[in-house]
Amino acid sequence: MTAVGEWFRRRRTPRTRRGASVEARLHDHVERLGEEHPPIPLDSVDYTMARPNVLADKFGPVLTYMSRVELEVERNVLELNLLLPEPPPVDRFFYGDVWLPQETHHGLILDKLQSLVGLPSSTLNLNHIDLRMRLLGALGKSTAIQDVTRMLYYLTGVATEQSAILAYNKLHRGLMQLGEKAVAATVIGPIRRQEPGHFAYYKIAAQGLWEELGAWQKWLARTIRRFSFEPVGAYDEAQRGDFGVVMERLGITGEGEAGLMRYAEQIGRVETELLWAQKEGLKVPAYVVDALRHAAYLAAGRNSAMAA
């Protein structure tokens, strides 16, 4: 057992209000993730490619976007330290000891792959924290507000990891269709096997914390989420357009509105069930659909400009 794990078992901080069974379940889950899914060894990857130029033409924007998102976890941890100055030990155990090392190796592997197919390395933001994050962090010094912030962190994690699972599955399928079996098996395959464990952590944590929030905290979480939701890794208009291109290259928007709605329902399912259970018949929050539509719109605008 890790030192963090032993400390967790002996002492829970006063801030941990979720039921003991949820905390124990989360801790066991993180320990299992760490034991069964260590960071992918960088020397275990086979970068042999049959047609690297074709791979770059078809999936270059996907590799560039994914490698950037994976490598920016360093900044994500800085944000978490700001937003959650007193997190439950199991949260710190998860994102510090398991999630961060795994995601960093994902990014390094994808970055090398895009380099080998002739693409430039991603431009990274590793230390600039958005003003909205700083404001929320300042408010989070209150225990009650920090519980809301944690809820938002879990919801973002759920949507992010579900997006990653879907994207890596589609990318793996696309690489197999291109005949790039080595890359599919030793790059994308191992990465996609680690993402569901992250998703499960956030889902369990979100469900447990939601039951502990008061009515006003739930209202605040819904309100902030409505105005702060954005596709994974898309923090400005350029990146939202990049995300739209990723959806296009992975075939998510190939079926038009039907494909986009299906994708929105998948990444928004957990928060629909938690935050909006009182709205019967709501398949997915409108803000999720609107964010994806906007990204697709920006990507379509780029295509039109290039064709002109």
- Tens-digit pLDDT profile for residues 101-150: 999 999 999 999 999 999 998 888 777 777 677 777 676 667 888 899 99
Query: Minimal CA–CA distance to 87: which of 9, 4, 6, 15?
Result: 15
Q: Which two tokens stand for residue 199?
A: 């998703």
Helix (H, G, I), strand (E, B) or coil at 200: helix
pLDDT, one tens digit per residue, over 203-236 is 999 999 999 999 999 999 999 999 999 999 999 9
Ramachandran sector of residue 120 (left: φ over 0; alpha: ψ -120 to 50; beta: rest): beta
Residue whose structure tokens are 């208009």: 237
Q: What is the pLDDT of residue 8?
A: 37
Phi, psi of 287 (to 5 degrees): -65, -30
DSSP secondary-structure letter at 96? I
The helix/strand count (H/E) of the chain reads as 14, 0
Helix (H, G, I), strand (E, B) or coil at 59: helix
DSSP secondary-structure letter at 233? T
DSSP secondary-structure letter at 99? I
Cα–Cα distance for residue pair 110/116, rounded to 1 Å:
10
Q: What is the pTM of this model?
A: 0.89
Query: Minimal CA–CA distance to 205: which of 265, 155, 161?
Result: 155
Cα–Cα distance for residue pair 204/215, rounded to 1 Å:
20
